[in-house]
Amino acid sequence: MVEYAVKMPGDDGAFVYLPIDAKFPADVYSNLVDAYESADVVSIDNAQKEMIKRIKLFAKDINQKYIDPPNTTDFAIMFLPFEGLYAEVVRLGLIEALQREYKVNIAGPTTMGAFLNSLYMGFKTLAIQKRSGEVWNILAGVKTEFEKFDEVLKLTQKRIEDANKELDKLIGVRSRQVRKKLSTITSLSEGESNKLFENVEVIEYEE
């Protein structure tokens, strides 16, 4: 069994698994570190070749055991638990070779976290894209309802304008009729008007 498997959403509500297997060639890595410390060119070259051979064997093992589409993704992850080991594999130029020959990607302690986070964000975006149709349907519904509301609003506005016109017409007609009636009454002179109101008491109210 694989050491780790990330459960991811697949088609039609099913799931697909991403295999992650940890590998640590302790003896080979120790020999490589010793070779670097000795500064012996031959020892370094031999240790690097042994490292390349061991990592490729690990990748082949992962490919044959754990990659099983459509139950799994068509690639797997080889987790290298030490940053120094991961850096050495990268320096040896194994990344593209492992991807091309065995469909295996490598990850160290730091890059593993970044990889999983990117994977999570990718699937979150995918989920949003799958539901984008629903979003567009909602927006289309809102647009339709707004157009209906706009029509009702315009109709109501027209009715209000018509009512204002009728009110203005009514006020104009009544005002003319009142003025016509008043015109038949003889106006008082200024003296007569003052005499009429001279005994009227004006009451002031305090606020």
Q: Which helix (H) or strand (E) element contains residue 79? A: strand 76-79
Predicted confidence (pLDDT) per residue in 117-126, tens digit: 887 777 776 6
Strand partners, 164: none
What's the pLDDT score for residue 48? 92
Is pLDDT of 144 > 60? yes
pLDDT at 169 over 70: no
Q: What integer pLDDT is reported at residue 50 of this predicted model?
A: 95
pLDDT at residue 171, as a whole number: 59
Please tell me the pTM assigned to this model.
0.59
> Looking at per-residue confidence, does 111 or 167 come out higher?
111
Q: Which residue has the tokens 């940053």?
A: 83
The single-letter code of the amino acid at 48 is: Q
Binned at pLDDT 50, 70 and 90, residue 207 comes out as very low
Tokens linked to 86: 């991961």
Q: How many whole angstroms separate alpha carbon 48 and alpha carbon 7?
A: 35
At residue 78, the pLDDT reads 95
Percent helix, strand, coil in the chain, to 5, is 70, 10, 20
Kindly state the average pLDDT of the residues 131-155.
60
How does pLDDT run across 66-123, given as a tens digit for each residue? Answer: 999 888 888 999 999 988 899 999 999 998 999 999 999 999 988 888 888 887 777 7
Joined tokens for residue 107: 């990850």
